[in-house]
Amino acid sequence: MKEKLEQLEKLLHEIHDLSAANAVLEWDQQVNMPRGAAEDRGEQMATLSRIAHIKSTSDELGKLLDDLTKEAASLAKDSDEARLIKVAKRRYDKDTKVSGDWVAEFTKATAVAQSTWEEAKVNDDFELFRPHLEKLVGLRQEYAEFFKPYDHVYDPLLDDFEPGMKTAEVQKIFADMKDEQVELIHQISQQPEIDNSFLFLKYDADGQIEFGKKVITDFGYDWNHGRQDISVHPFTTSFGLNDVRITTKIVPDFLSPCLFGTFHECGHALYEQGIAKKFNRTPIADGASMAIHESQSRMWENLIGRSEPFWKRYYKDLQKIFPSQLGNIDGSTFYKGINKVEPSLIRIEADEATYNLHIMLRLEMEIGLMEGSIQAKDAAQVWKEKFNAYLGIVPPNDRQGVLQDVHWSSGLFGYFPTYALGNLVSVQLWDRMLQDNPDTAEQVEAGEFSKILGWYREHVHQYGAKYEPQELVQKITGEKINSAPFTRYLKDKFGKIYNL
């Protein structure tokens, strides 16, 4: 068995290296690549993907995993070896169930859909995008068929991002919080509006970056195993556990995107930098799920980065960098400004209190599209109706409505709920952390994050993808993913800010 395990690791290392190489190519594409190289880069990435796919679905790997799965019965269920076999087998089974023809058609369809979506969005032309949405929904319905029997047609999609999680679970979680979130926003809307106009002044790029770098260095970002660059869309990527890079973007007349975006991406990066090195170059060297990943980015962005203790410590540093913009704004005004709640059209600009509503809307639509209870041709109209129901606004156009996100044009159905689940998990874990580390607020106010990071390293990061998300949350908190802590957190935080 030892020999077979070594053989498995060898195959997994090779697959990992190919995908790490592809990640370097993609990072370079976003950060450095000259424009004229786009087509060649596409070919290079396609070649690496193709070779990696062949290796990920090889009979050699399948046979080895079958043998090892049998032999793993003798291993402790939670041993690293047993888990590695389980995670690798799960991936292999998923990869091999889907036909090559489907993958080829899907790849082609999304390439066309994405460029059409870009055009449709610019021109506010849903009809242009409509046939592609129909096509991709159809392809995703076919995709689900590969995984029959399932409880719900949406399950196989969700499972790609949240291993083991079911549609019914997510629906229940969202249903539990919906009324209270809507009610909270209604209450806030009755209160005087907060002024955050000082965030929309001219902020020098170097100053934005300097402040962000200082903060994430304090958070514990390891520059010896990472770096930060500028890109159009901020992202985190890793080429193994020893090279976890982040990017940020600068909006010259809006302070928030670089500020909170940097904390957010740093949160993702701290997760990957914290995975135990013994898992490097294996499928366990990854987040447990998108929601768990998002719980880490949201934690540093919101629970710390938009908290009062944090700004008690760091606001004077920010003022020093931007004296003309912030010199006359006191700390309390700043704190309220960055936490202003306001129903708005665009998900990625939404505040903590309204964010999940954007997601609930998308989940309902995705499930409807997959079930067939919503037709792709009606998506723009349904969007408007639901948006009004959730957020009290009717989007004036489709550009800021159904066409705003890239996900559907890339065939990514099942991804959206992970954003909201991440918010919920972030508070569940945070509450548990507070029990072990009751002085958290004082530490944050002192700019001292090592105990906080240490707790997450110990309870979350080190395991990587060893456990499934529900399993991990249960192991840490004693409960499965649920919305109660998050709803309490929102009511408490915004109750104070808005004097509710």
Among 78, 195, 222, 317, binds its own copies (CB under 8 A): 222
**Omega before residue 34 within 30° of 0, cis:** no
Sign of CA dihedral 205, 206, 211, 215: positive
Nearer to its own copies, 23 or 136 (CB): 23
Among 7, 30, 44, 141, binds its own copies (CB under 8 A): 44
224 binds its own copies (CB under 8 A): yes
Q: Which of 43, 154, 156, 149 is nearest to 95 (CA)?
A: 156
Q: Which of 274, 337, 259, 257 is nearest to 464 (CA)?
A: 274
**What distances in angstroms separate CA 101 from CA 15, 98, 134, 308, 349, one per listed residue?**
22, 9, 19, 54, 38
281 binds its own copies (CB under 8 A): yes
**Using an 8 Å Cβ cutoff, are 293 and 269 in contact?**
no
14 binds its own copies (CB under 8 A): yes
Among 155, 243, 294, 468, binds its own copies (CB under 8 A): 243
Q: Pairing state of beta strands 236-238 and 244-248?
A: antiparallel
* Residue labelled with tokens 């067939």: 372
From the candidates 162, 265, 272, 364, give the one annotated as an active-site residue.
265
242 binds its own copies (CB under 8 A): yes
Known binding-site positions for Zn(2+):
264, 268, 294
Helix (H, G, I), strand (E, B) or coil at 286: coil
Q: For the chain, report the end-to-end CA distance as a whole number of angstroms.
A: 62
Q: Please, what is the minimum distance in Å from the beta carbon of residue 225 to its own copies?
A: 4
276 binds its own copies (CB under 8 A): no
5 binds its own copies (CB under 8 A): no
Q: Which stretch binds its own copies (CB under 8 A): 24-32, 185-193, 317-325, 381-389?
A: 24-32
d(CA 283, CA 85): 10
Nearer to its own copies, 35 or 148 (CB): 35
Site map for its own copies, 176-215, x if CB under 8 A? ----------------------------------------
Known binding-site positions:
264, 268, 294
Site map for its own copies, 109-148, x if CB under 8 A? ----------------------------------------
Nearer to its own copies, 274 or 401 (CB): 274
51 binds its own copies (CB under 8 A): yes
Helix (H, G, I), strand (E, B) or coil at 453: helix
Applying CB under 8 A, the site for its own copies has a residue count of 37
Q: Please, what is the minimum distance in Å from the beta carbon of residue 223 to its own copies?
A: 7
28 binds its own copies (CB under 8 A): yes
Q: In sequence order, which residues have a C-beta less than 8 Å from that of residue 65 and are 6 or more positions away?
A: 8, 85, 88, 89, 92
d(CA 485, CA 491): 10
d(CA 107, CA 49): 12
Q: Which of residues 393-452 bind its own copies (CB under 8 A)?
A: none
33 binds its own copies (CB under 8 A): yes
Q: Which stretch binds its own copies (CB under 8 A): 72-80, 132-140, 221-229, 290-298?
A: 221-229
Q: Which stretch binds its own copies (CB under 8 A): 26-34, 307-315, 330-338, 448-456?
A: 26-34
Q: In sequence order, which residues have a C-beta less than 8 Å from that of residue 331 and are 6 or more positions away?
A: 311, 312, 315
Cα within 13 Å of Cα(448), Cβ side: 9
Spatial strand order of the sheet with 236-238 comes to 228-230, 244-248, 236-238
**Using an 8 Å Cβ cutoff, are 279 and 285 in contact?**
yes
Say whether 71 is catalytic.
no
Q: Which stretch binds its own copies (CB under 8 A): 45-53, 90-98, 175-183, 369-377?
A: 45-53
Helix (H, G, I), strand (E, B) or coil at 98: coil
480 binds its own copies (CB under 8 A): no
Q: Which stretch binds its own copies (CB under 8 A): 163-171, 233-241, 448-456, 478-486?
A: 233-241
Q: Amino acid identity, residue 273? A: Q
250 binds its own copies (CB under 8 A): no
∠ CA(85), CA(91), CA(93), 5° rounding?
95
Q: What is the largest CA-CA distance in the chain?
A: 69
Among 2, 3, 34, 478, binds its own copies (CB under 8 A): 34
8 binds its own copies (CB under 8 A): no
| Residue numbers at the binding site for its own copies (CB under 8 A) | 13-14, 17-18, 20-22, 24-25, 28, 32-37, 39-41, 43-44, 47-48, 51, 222-227, 239-243, 280-281
> Which positions are annotated as active-site residues?
265
